[in-house]
Structure formats: structure tokens, C-alpha cells
Amino acid sequence: MKILLIGCGKMGGAMLRQWVRHDGNQFTVADPAATDLPEGITHVTEASSLASEEFDVIVIAIKPQMIADLLPAYSPALNPGGCFVSIAAGCSIATLEGIVGETAIIRVMPNLAAMVGMGVSGLYANHACTQQQVNEVTAFIAQTGRCVPLASEDEIDRLTAVSGSGPGYVFEIMRSYVEAAKRLGFDEETSRALVFDTISGTVETARQSDASLEELRNSVTSKNGTTQAGLDELRRNGQLDSLLNDTVQAAYHRAAELK
């Protein structure tokens, strides 16, 4: 496919670095500020530089408040059978249709782990999309990690609250965990190694196991042991469940407000 990427900031750039690892697509990046692009990428700074080129997919990776100003100049470059793919958070399909008309549009909500090929993205297509377009874009997005098909834009908002914003929650938990290790007397380097490897190893154990998370938790928890003592504090008065529920609910409500 011939793909035009409008905007190559943190998320667009992260996904591009994964996409170029796979054969079969040609990329043009439209971004006046883009630097250090992967080899073989065509770079333009404005729509007029595209001349009469046409693209199978136009990926919208600019800030939502910039879309109404910038997208109209690039939209004629979409070929008649092509589709728009937006990774702009908080910009609804209705908003995009108000700019480019009722054409094929797919919204994708990625997350930061796309930069290492382990992202989680949600995908929702409007009614103008063909099944072939959905299949092709799903496979394309899956080059950056897992791609989850969604049945509504509300599911985009809900996924945003869980996996889209999720790396922020996990980084904050990791930061606090590292600080707790340091207060026990470990230095910064050792604390980070202990926490990072404990988390990554535990996730991989759960991924490879058929047991439930509760069963896995219980398997490392001896009665009146050290893990039990820590878990009793972590789960006191249901504080962990309540905190995480409030966290994702707050993110979900904000995602809905931004549309």
C-alpha cells in the first residue's frame, strides 16, 4: 500500500519505526518538523509538495486541534478506493466526516508500547469501509502489536481508559514501587532492576499459564507468610480495586468529553 502519514510525532513516529520493519508498503511523511526518519521514507513539509500523488491510506497522526486546519489540504491525495486512518485521540468519526465527507474512515487508539512492537490498539471502522479495508488496516496496525476490533466509538473511549492511558498508570505504579525498594535500602539501579524484572517476569508467567490470576496469586502466597502480609496491606478495605476502578472511570469520562 501507498501510505501518507500526516504528522510524525511521538506516537506516529513510534508506529512508523515498526511499520518500516515490514515489507510491502511505501511511506510518505508530511511533517515540517520531522527529523531522523527511517531510510527510504519520502518526506514532504506541505501538501503542495505531493503534486498529483494518490495514496491507499492516509494516517492522521496530528493533534486533534490541528486536524480541521491541515487535513483538507491533504484529503484530495486519497485515492477513490482508499481510507483515512486516524490515531488522533478524542477526535470522533463524525468530526472527521465533517472535514473530509462521508468516506471510509477508521479510528485507531494505540498505546506507547507500539514503539517496541508490543502495543495494544483498538480499531473501529465507519459504515463506509469495506471488509477488505478493515482487514488490511487491521493487519497493518497489528505490525505494532495487538489490534482489537471494536463495535462502537464508545468502545474506543473505554479502551482508551484501559490500554490507551494504561502505560501512564503502569509507569506511575513502577515509579512508586522503585521508591519503596529504595526506602528498604537498595540503590537506584538495583531498585529499578528488581522492580522491572519482577513485573516483566510476572506478566510473562501469567501470559504462559492457563491458571487464573487469582490462582497464580494464591500459588505464591503462603498462609501468614511475607506475601500474605504485603497483600493484606495492598488490599486493605478494598483500596486497590477501588483506586484502579476510579482511575479507569475518570479516564473513560474524560475520553467521552473530548469527542
The Cα 168–Cα 172 span in angstroms is: 6
What average pLDDT score do residues 198-212 get? 97
Q: What pLDDT score was predicted for residue 23?
A: 83
Which pLDDT tens digit goes with each residue over 127-144? 999 999 999 999 999 999
Q: What angle do CA 38, 44, 46 make, to 5 degrees?
A: 145
Q: How confident is the model at residue 243 (pLDDT cuts 50, 70, 90)?
A: very high
Domain definitions of the chain by residue range: 2-156, 166-258
Per-residue confidence (pLDDT) for residue 142, from 0 to 100: 96
Average pLDDT over residues 33-57: 91
Instruction: Give the model's confidence band at 2: pLDDT under 50 very low, under 70 low, under 90 confident, else very high.
Output: very high
pLDDT of residue 61: 96
Q: How confident is the model at residue 36 (pLDDT cuts 50, 70, 90)?
A: confident
- CATH 1.10.3730.10 for domain 166-258, yes or no, is yes
Cell digits for 187? 540503590
- Using one digit for the tens of pLDDT, what is the confidence trace for 10-31? 899 999 999 999 888 999 999 9
Q: Is the pLDDT at 259 greater than 90, yes or no?
A: no
Residue 207 has pLDDT above 90, yes or no: yes
For the chain, the average pLDDT equals 95
Order the strands of the 119-125 sheet from edge to edge.
42-44, 26-30, 2-6, 55-60, 78-86, 105-109, 119-125, 145-149
The residues facing 124 across adjacent strands are 107
Q: For residue 121, which of 71, 94, 156, 169 has the smallest C-alpha distance? A: 156
How would residue 107 be classed by pLDDT, with cut points 50, 70 and 90? very high
Q: Using the Cα atoms of residue 124, residue 117, residue 163 and residue 12 in order, give the sign of their dihedral.
A: negative
Cβ-based neighbour number of residue 8 at 10 Å: 25
Instruction: Return the CATH number of the domain spanning residue range 2-156.
Output: 3.40.50.720
Is residue 61 within 8 A of residue 9, CB to CB? The reply is yes
Q: What is the 3-state secondary structure (H, E, C) of 119-162?
A: EEEEEEECCCCCHHHHHHHHHHHHHHEEEEECCCHHHHHHHHHH
pTM equals: 0.90
